[in-house]
Structure 1
Amino acid sequence: MNRLTIEQLSKTYPGGVKALNAISLELSNGMFGLLGPNGAGKSSLMRTIAGLQSPDSGRIIFNGSTVTPGSVLIKKQLGYLPQDFGVYPKLSAATLLDHLAILKGIAQKAERKEQIGALLQRTNLYAHKDKAVSSFSGGMRQRFGIAQALLGNPQLIIVDEPTAGLDPEERNRFNNLLSEIGEQVIVILSTHLVEDVRNLCTNMAIIQNGTLIATGRPDDFVKALDGKIWSKRIDKKDEAQQAHRVISSHFTAGKLHINVYAEDTPGDGFLPKQADLEDVYFTQLTQS
């Protein structure tokens, strides 16, 4: 069983931007969802865990050893798919994976060939192994990203906004692959898409403005909101928006609906709504 411990991690960038504010987490094997709006500090946390930047204070411990920037330990154990990654424009998928495998320390040619073939099969890219990665569609490129992240059989995998921009079919295919991978290792899924966390993760955290505002099991969060979320169709200038704690609003069939948090019925035409993880997310963001 792998274990990742994050203790009081803080990071402030030049100019005074506090990206991380005393974040502490404890993770073990499985899918862990890190939710937060754009700019919340998710990518800063991922880069710090990956050893790409130093924290100002706090520490990261993986399987009993402290992670430091550039440490060989984390490089050998880590698979990382950043939000944006570049590729050499003319290299084929197989050739680029071979190059990356060498950088990961897989010295034996036969071992590299075996791993690369297996990973291309696993990511459904084997038929495209001789094509330039730069010519791949968005979904194919993300699956290639997972293939390179899995080189060397890492025990900690970080994926940063992996399904942004993918069509529904590619998103489902990618999420199925992540779910399979997460059975034996730690997978940290950093995203602003609540649905991905709901579908994949058994544990999660919500981060905002560099601060951890909630952590726990998605099902427990949802259960805690039972009977406390109410919905109503309103006119855009309806005073209900000012009179209640509105957590979210959305259009359905061209009509504006608001969801509010209230311990008891707010009356005024509001109907009870079955709570879901999106309600958890917006409730946490609006109370922090």
Structure 2
Amino acid sequence: MNTLKIDKLTKTYANGVKAMQNISLEIGNGIFGLLGPNGAGKSTLMRTIAGLQQPDSGQIIFNGADVVAEPVLIKQHLGYLPQDFGVYPKVSAYDLLEHLAVLKGITSAKERKEQILALLEKTNLYAHRNKAVSSYSGGMRQRFGVAQALLGNPHIIIVDEPTAGLDPEERNRFNNLLSEIGEQVIIILSTHLVEDVHNLCTQMAIINKGSLLAYGEPDTFINQLEGRIWSQTIDRADLPTFREQYQVISVQLHAGRQSIHVYAENEPGNGFALRQPDLEDVYFAQLYHTK
């Protein structure tokens, strides 16, 4: 069982942006979802965990080792899939994985070959192993990204916005692959897609403006909102009035009209109907209460 303990991480950039403010988390095997809007601090947190930058203060303990003091300790056990990764033109998937395996310190040619072929099979790319990665579709590239992240049998994998731009079929295939991998290792999944977190993650955190807003199990958060989320379809012109009168947490378009969700401890009246909360309501309720 792998454990990652993050204790009071703080980071302020030279321009004054507080990217992390006393963030504390404890993560074990499985897929951990990290939700937040652009600029929330997700990437800063992931780069710090990966040892790519130092925090101003705080600790990161991975399987008992202090990786802030010695970043190389986590890099030896880390797989990383960034949102965008470049590939060499005209280099096949097999040859690129061979090159990356050497960089990761897999010195045995026999071991490299066995790992690469097994990973190509696992990611459903074996039939395309001799094709240039630059010619792959978006979904195939993401699966290749998983293959390179798994080289060297890492204990922790960081995945940044992995399904952005994928069609529904590729997204499902990718998520199934992550779910299978997450049984043995820690996967930190940074995303803005609430549905992916609900489908994949047993634990999650919501961060915004560098601060931790919520940390726990998705279903627990949903249950806590039971009886507090109300909805109504309104004319677009009436939205400003409703924002003044109610705690509007989200607005969606339906057939040219706007469906609004509001947070209220008691029935707000005025035509609102109680709705079954979901993780998207949790997300927007947390963001709303921090404004």
TM-score range, shorter chain: over 0.9
Residue identity matched to 1:243: Q
| 1:131 and 2:127 matched | no
Taking the aligned partners of 2:222 and 2:133, their CA distance within structure 1 comes to: 41
Taking the aligned partners of 2:13 and 2:91, their CA distance within structure 1 comes to: 35
The alpha carbon displacement at 1:87 in A equals 1.3
Taking the aligned partners of 1:114 and 1:72, their CA distance within structure 2 comes to: 26
Taking the aligned partners of 2:214 and 2:38, their CA distance within structure 1 comes to: 17
Q: Residues 50 and 71 of structure 2 are in contact (CA less than 8 Å); yes or no, is this contact kept in structure 1?
A: no
The alpha carbon displacement at 1:12 in A equals 1.5
Taking the aligned partners of 2:64 and 2:70, their CA distance within structure 1 comes to: 17
Residue identity matched to 1:27: I
The alpha carbon displacement at 1:254 in A equals 2.2
Structure 2 gaps of 5+ residues are: none
Q: Alpha carbons of 1:178 and 1:69: their partners in 2 closer, same or farther (altered >3 Å)?
A: farther
1:274 corresponding residue in structure 2: 276
Q: How many residues align?
A: 288
CA offsets 1:210-237 (integer angstroms, 9 cap, x no match): 1111101000000000110000011122
1:261 corresponding residue in structure 2: 263
Q: Residues 47 and 53 of structure 1 are in contact (CA less than 8 Å); yes or no, is this contact kept in structure 2?
A: yes
The alpha carbon displacement at 1:69 in A equals 7.6
The alpha carbon displacement at 1:120 in A equals 0.3
Q: How does 1:48-63 map to 2 (within 5 A)?
A: 48-63=48-63
The alpha carbon displacement at 1:16 in A equals 1.1
2:158 corresponding residue in structure 1: 158
CA offsets 1:150-189 (integer angstroms, 9 cap, x no match): 0011110110110011111110000000000111111100
| 1:23 and 2:23 matched | yes
| Paired residue secondary structure (2:76) | helix
1:120 corresponding residue in structure 2: 120
1:231 corresponding residue in structure 2: 231
Q: Residues 54 and 69 of structure 1 are in contact (CA less than 8 Å); yes or no, is this contact kept in structure 2?
A: no
Taking the aligned partners of 1:69 and 1:197, their CA distance within structure 2 comes to: 31
1:211 corresponding residue in structure 2: 211
Residue identity matched to 2:172: N
Taking the aligned partners of 1:75 and 1:15, their CA distance within structure 2 comes to: 28
| Paired residue secondary structure (1:134) | helix
1:186 corresponding residue in structure 2: 186
CA offsets 1:11-59 (integer angstroms, 9 cap, x no match): 1122111111111100011110000001111011101100111111111
CA offsets 1:256-275 (integer angstroms, 9 cap, x no match): 11000001110000001110
Taking the aligned partners of 1:9 and 1:272, their CA distance within structure 2 comes to: 39
Taking the aligned partners of 1:3 and 1:70, their CA distance within structure 2 comes to: 17
Structure 1 gaps of 5+ residues are: none
Taking the aligned partners of 1:36 and 1:72, their CA distance within structure 2 comes to: 28
Residue identity matched to 1:144: F
Q: TM-score when scaled to structure 2?
A: 0.97
| Paired residue secondary structure (2:47) | helix
2:143 corresponding residue in structure 1: 143
| 1:8 and 2:15 matched | no
The alpha carbon displacement at 1:75 in A equals 1.7
Taking the aligned partners of 1:134 and 1:261, their CA distance within structure 2 comes to: 47
Residue identity matched to 1:12: T
Residue identity matched to 1:49: I
Q: TM-score when scaled to structure 1?
A: 0.98
Taking the aligned partners of 2:280 and 2:72, their CA distance within structure 1 comes to: 39
Residue identity matched to 1:3: T
Q: Percent identity?
A: 70
The alpha carbon displacement at 1:70 in A equals 7.1
Q: Residues 52 and 70 of structure 1 are in contact (CA less than 8 Å); yes or no, is this contact kept in structure 2?
A: no
Q: Residues 34 and 191 of structure 1 are in contact (CA less than 8 Å); yes or no, is this contact kept in structure 2?
A: yes
The alpha carbon displacement at 1:240 in A equals 2.1
RMSD across aligned positions (CA): 1.0
